[in-house]
Amino acid sequence: MSMASQVASGTGPSSLGLSLLLLLLHLSPEGISGHSASLPPGCLMMGLLKASCQGLGLRTFPTALPLTVAHLDLSHNRLQVLQDNATRDQPDLRHLDLRGNQLEGLAPGSLLPLRWLHALVLAGNSLNRRYVSNSQALWPLSHLRLLDLSANHLESDMVSFYVANRSSLWSLDLSNNLITRLARSTFLGAPKLLDIDLSDNYILQIEAGAFEGLLQLRELSLARNSLHCISDFSLRALWRLNLSFNALQFFATEEGNWSYQLQVLDLSHNQLRAMPTPLALPHLHHLNLSDNRLTSLGPHSPSSPRDPEMVPTQSASDPAADLPELTDLDLSRNQLDRLPVGFLSQLSALQRLSMGWNCLQNMSVQQPGPGPPLLSLRSLDLQGNRIQTFPSWVFEILPGLRALDLGDNELQLCARPEAGRAGPFQGLRQPFGSAFHLKHLSLSRNGLRRLCATRLPPALLFSLDLSGNPGLALVPGDFRGLQHSLHELSLRGNGMASAHLGLPCLWELRALDLSGNQLASLPQSLNCSPSLHSLDLRRNLLQALDTEVLGAHLRSVFLAGNPFLCCSLGWLATLASANVSVPDSEEAWCVYPGGERGSRAPLARDHSHLCNRWQWRGTQAGWVLLAVIGLFLGSCGATALLQNSGKLPWARQLRARPKPEPEHKPTLGRESVVERREPEQK
């Protein structure tokens, strides 16, 4: 019997001092194994304080765990009822995880011994049953900070029972239940709550004042509910509010000058047709309005058409916004048809803007706004619109732009007849000509076939994505000015043949993605990209790699999906000896020439044996072929000669001899006959 179990089972008061001493002795890493003797089979100690009895099929609360255990994981067992005094042996538990059991009954005294419990996780049980008595079992937990009741089939009225008398509680998780309504009294019992998760319920209605008493509330998630309208949001102390995935058509904050503390507001995936009003959130830095129905950023005011005096001073589509700290704005997946230049110019701290998947189309119709340039914007996502012309004034009002994503548009870069030098289309022919600070540009999936000497952003361009433009053909001149800046280039999925891949020397190139093309050889220009370290060649038509053109810094190359020749893999050995890794070598294959079925084999395998045999059989086939030709020619000649003379000595020989083994057929002329004979002579 180990000393630990003596401690655990020691009862007499006289032995208490000794037990404590022994216990202290055991507070060393070597003592852990001693403790585990008293653990239920399958439980693990993780350090001195944590025990995990996860997924062991336990039906009762384990007894006689080490006294040191403060954190007990009993998740995913089969506890159904927690009996009175069940937790008697663990009075010092701080954290108890009972997630994923089948709990439906908590006897009134079941948690009574856990005076110091801080966190109780009851997620994924059936505490909707007997909720009145079960909730009373929680009353003694006077130090409870965190209570997780998610996924317990709880309905609205049951919640107030569990929340009653929870004045110590800071964090409450009620997500994934069946709540439809929050009453004014729901959270009265837990006035010190800092965060509440109510996501994944069916909340339709929130009574006014439901959160009023919660003066310290900082985080609230109401995501994935059925809310239609928030007409006077008044939680001024809140930092984070998540209202995503509801059915909101309207969101309005309260008027007044005690400012909101809100920093993160997620309104994505709703049905908003207008911006929240009034938009004065001085500490907001993240606003997500993705996936709504905004057609303009104008305020939602049905009265304005009737009241011409109400027309906003700026412009109908640009509401006044007081968002001085906003850095991230997501307007993607709406129905906006123009860049809201006036609105954006009020956002002095904005760094990242997404307007992907909207209805931007002809950006040249829009004239630059009057406002000052928006200096702070670093990243602009315009993916998935229908932009055909991209005017250069965008870079004039966004001089600090570093990353621009124009993927999934219909950009036309080649000269159009009306695009004169001085006309309204000035700047359209060289849209990127003034993008002096742009570092990342994506022109992926635009149906581009030529770049037509478009001046790509000069000087600083670091990465360029031209992937997904099937049929693209490049000439070295397309990369004018980029030879010393471009580090990353993607030409993935363009179906380009080697002849259409006109790359100049890209001296600084580090990563090149050429996957999904029709290359039969590596571009020779790679030999002037000495720093290249990552190369993706998947899904091409390569039979071998010319390692001569690859620089010394290459670290990884992806190769799967090429018809490499199994019997000329010398280059693979060269790569290996240069420490170049082939991360997808398991998926790469090669072919044995000869085209038989099943001649495809994993690239990484050792092919020497099969290749020797193949070479042998190859020569064999050659011999047979030559023999047949020789035989044919010979017999033709012979018949011709025989018709003439019929007495040439070798013709007679030929007839007289028995048919030789095909591989010994002497058809290659004298030398090979001699060669073949040599082994026989040995």
335 vs 612, which CB is nearer to ligand NAG? Answer: 335
| CA-wise closest residue to 318 among 292, 293, 306, 336 | 336
Residue type, 114: L
Q: Bridge partners of 565?
A: 591
- Site for ligand NAG contains 579 (CB under 6 A): yes
* Residue from 16, 64, 365, 459 binding ligand NAG (CB under 6 A): 365
6 vs 574, which CB is nearer to ligand NAG? Answer: 574
What is the DSSP secondary structure assignment for residue 176, as one 8-state letter? Answer: S
Provide the sign of the torsion angle of the four alpha carbons 474, 477, 478, 481, taken in this order: positive
| Structure tokens that stand for 650 in this block | 């070798």
User: Could you tell me which stretch among 69-77, 212-220, 258-266, 629-637 binds ligand NAG (CB under 6 A)?
Assistant: 258-266
Please provide the size of the chain in residues: 682
- Site for ligand NAG contains 364 (CB under 6 A): yes
| CA-wise closest residue to 128 among 166, 161, 96 | 161
- Site for ligand NAG contains 139 (CB under 6 A): yes
* Residue from 212, 328, 410, 508 binding ligand NAG (CB under 6 A): 328
Distance CA 105, CA 134 (A): 6
* Residue from 194, 204, 210, 264 binding ligand NAG (CB under 6 A): 264
| Structure tokens that stand for 532 in this block | 């290249």
Which stretches of 177-274 are DSSP H helices?
none
* Residue from 54, 56, 76, 84 binding ligand NAG (CB under 6 A): 84
User: Could you tell me which stretch among 212-220, 266-274, 494-502, 593-601 binds ligand NAG (CB under 6 A)?
Assistant: 266-274
Question: 263 phi and psi, to 5 degrees?
Answer: -110, -35
Min dist. Cβ of residue 424 to ligand NAG (A)? 7
* Residue from 58, 65, 103, 164 binding ligand NAG (CB under 6 A): 164
* Residue from 52, 101, 186, 244 binding ligand NAG (CB under 6 A): 244
Min dist. Cβ of residue 195 to ligand NAG (A)? 12
User: Could you tell me which stretch among 178-186, 283-291, 658-666, 672-680 binds ligand NAG (CB under 6 A)?
Assistant: 283-291
Which stretches of 50-137 are DSSP H helices?
131-137
Min dist. Cβ of residue 13 to ligand NAG (A)? 16
* Residue from 150, 253, 268, 442 binding ligand NAG (CB under 6 A): 268
Other CB atoms within 10 Å distance of the CB of residue 439: 19
Distance CA 382, CA 411 (A): 12
Residue 330 CA, distance from chain mean position? 18
Cβ atoms of residues 343 and 297 within 8 Å: yes
| Structure tokens that stand for 417 in this block | 């007849």
- Site for ligand NAG contains 643 (CB under 6 A): no
| CA-wise closest residue to 561 among 502, 512, 519 | 519
- Site for ligand NAG contains 641 (CB under 6 A): no
Q: H-helix or E-strand containing 625?
A: helix 608-644
Q: Bridge partners of 288?
A: 266, 330
- Site for ligand NAG contains 419 (CB under 6 A): no
- Site for ligand NAG contains 322 (CB under 6 A): no
Distance CA 585, CA 606 (A): 13
Count the residues of the shown chain that bind ligand NAG, applying the rule CB under 6 A.
29
- State in Å, rounded, how far the first CA of the chain is from the last one: 80
- Site for ligand NAG contains 330 (CB under 6 A): yes
Question: 137 phi and psi, to 5 degrees?
Answer: -65, -20
220 vs 482, which CB is nearer to ligand NAG? Answer: 220
| CA-wise closest residue to 514 among 495, 533, 530 | 495
Min dist. Cβ of residue 619 to ligand NAG (A)? 36
296 vs 334, which CB is nearer to ligand NAG? Answer: 334
- Site for ligand NAG contains 81 (CB under 6 A): no
* Residue from 165, 171, 463, 581 binding ligand NAG (CB under 6 A): 165
441 vs 575, which CB is nearer to ligand NAG? Answer: 575
Interface residues with ligand NAG (CB under 6 A) are 84-85, 139, 164-165, 199, 221, 223-224, 242, 244, 256-258, 264, 266, 268-269, 288, 290-291, 328, 330, 362, 364-365, 388, 578-579
